[in-house]
């Protein structure tokens, strides 16, 4: 089995779209192996978004991601789960995301694009360890 990290961002929680988003992953055949509603602070966001620290949009990203609770989850599938999730999320900018994807169906702004999914096997392991350090490795 293969796992990846998903975050339903503050806009998804505020808009009541957590069930829709997680339901899509479940209906696809992925399984939730960990999930918790959490408030993310600057420090954990700096670890999670390490590759973006210092970029022009970083401060806005932190302000957005910490403005309310998020649903952090680890989901599991047979293989390439990170890629399955990324395909279901759609492009980073919802304006470019295909209809039928989460961002394509529910988003209009790159700054509030509803969902995070790890972008590689390595990112998935690294990110899952940040949020669920006690979760047993698959």
Q: Which residues are catalytic?
A: 116
Task: Kindly give, in sequence order, each residue whose CB lies less than 8 Å from that of residue 56, ignoring residues fewer than 6 positions away.
Answer: none
Report the residue number, 10 or 136, with the smaller CB distance to ligand DAT. 10
Judged by CB under 5 A, which stretch of 11-19, 67-75, 83-91, 119-127 contacts Mg ion? 119-127
> At closest approach, how far in Å is the CB of 104 from Mg ion?
17
How far apart are the C-alpha atoms of 122 and 101, rounded to whole Å? Answer: 24
> At closest approach, how far in Å is the CB of 136 from Mg ion?
25
Residue 120 found at the interface with ligand DAT (CB under 6 A): no
> At closest approach, how far in Å is the CB of 21 from ligand DAT?
14
| Beta carbons of 116 and 6 less than 8 angstroms apart | yes
Report the residue number, 13 or 61, with the smaller CB distance to Mg ion. 61
Binding ligand DAT (rule: CB under 6 A), the pick from 13, 33, 34, 61 is 61
Buried-state track 113-137, b at ≥16 Cβ within 10 A, e below 16: bbbbbbeeeebbeebbeebbeeeee
Report the residue number, 72 or 136, with the smaller CB distance to ligand DAT. 72
How far apart are the C-alpha atoms of 86 and 101, rounded to whole Å? Answer: 9
Query: What's the count of helices (H) and strands (E) in the chain, helices before strands?
Result: 7, 4
Binding ligand DAT (rule: CB under 6 A), the pick from 69, 119, 125, 126 is 119
Residue corresponding to tokens 């999670």: 48
The residues of the shown chain that bind ligand DAT, judged by CB under 6 A, are 52, 57, 61, 92, 110-111, 113, 116, 119
């Amino acid at each position: 089995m293969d796992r990846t990290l998903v975050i339903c961002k503050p806009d998804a929680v505020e808009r009541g779209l957590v069930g829709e988003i997680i339901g899509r992953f479940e209906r696809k055949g992925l399984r939730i192996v960990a999930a918790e509603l959490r408030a993310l602070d600057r420090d954990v966001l700096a670890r999670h978004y390490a590759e973006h620290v210092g970029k022009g949009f970083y401060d806005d990203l932190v302000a957005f991601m910490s403005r309310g609770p998020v649903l952090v989850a680890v989901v599991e599938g047979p293989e390439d789960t990170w890629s399955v999730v990324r395909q279901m999320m759609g492009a980073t900018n919802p304006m470019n995301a295909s209809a039928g994807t989460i961002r394509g169906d529910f988003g209009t702004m790159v700054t509030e694009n509803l969902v995070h999914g790890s972008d590689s096997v390595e990112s998935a392991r690294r990110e899952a360890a940040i949020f669920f350090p006690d979760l047993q490795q698959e």
